[in-house]
Amino acid sequence: MIKSMLLILLLIFGLVIIIFIILNVLRKWYWDGIQSNLLDLVDDIGGQVIRHGFFSRPFYHGNYQQIDLTINFSSERLKKGRSNLIDISLATSLKESLTISSFQWLKDIEEKSIGDYEPLSIKGEPLYGLRKSDSARQNARIFKSDFIHHLEKLHPFRFIFIGQQGVLYEIETENLPQSTRHPRLKEQLDGIFELISGLRK
């Protein structure tokens, strides 16, 4: 009886180890594919892909159009499930501070101040909200049609934070390898630069 129980425990332990190995191999393949996509971006605009460990997530760092650029990946658990995120940050000085947030994302995080956001319509639908600093309220540039046009090119996204120290742009995606495939990230970068072109110092 004891020998049978020990054998069962050993089989369970072995099965757990096998599952652990398989999951880690799949994880490595997953991030290897994304790293390959980032290397395609490097071939186009320069910079470098950094990966600190065998199973760790890669990230991109470089200089694009004379601006320090970083692309990171993360995940977040919400009530609707786990979301994969692409975070693009630019270190550049800007004249204004404003935030453009997806109304859907604000609802997902149960944001209580949705009413403080001014609606921005994409193709006739009020999908995003704009929150401006006092100085940005005086800048009619952000209401011009080309500003909305640039937003349409970036849609869909979670939020864009534009501040005097830089820009943070976050995308939620169900398929990270597909969303990072070249030239998709390059198109996103160009869209951000077009959006902030009139707000740079």
Residue-level pLDDT at 142 = 56
**Mean pLDDT computed over 67-72:** 95
Q: Quick one: how far is CA 90 from the chain centroid?
A: 13
Residue-level pLDDT at 189 = 92
Contact partners, residue 63, CB within 8 Å, separation at least 6: 46, 47, 69
Contact partners, residue 198, CB within 8 Å, separation at least 6: 141, 142, 147
Tell me whether residue 186 is exposed, middle or buried, using C-beta atoms within 10 angstroms of its C-beta: 0 to 12, 13 to 18, 19 or more. middle
Please say whether the beta carbons of 49 and 35 come within 8 A: yes
Enter the pTM of the model. 0.84
Q: Give the tens place of pLDDT for each residue, 136-183.
A: 445 545 555 577 888 888 999 999 998 888 899 999 998 999 999 999
Distance between CA atoms of residues 191 and 151, nearest Å: 8
Q: Give the tens place of pLDDT for each residue, 88-124.
A: 999 987 777 888 999 988 888 877 777 788 888 888 8
Q: Does the pLDDT value for residue 28 go beyond 90?
A: no
Q: Does the pLDDT value for residue 16 go beyond 90?
A: no
Residue 85 φ/ψ, nearest 5 degrees: -125, 140
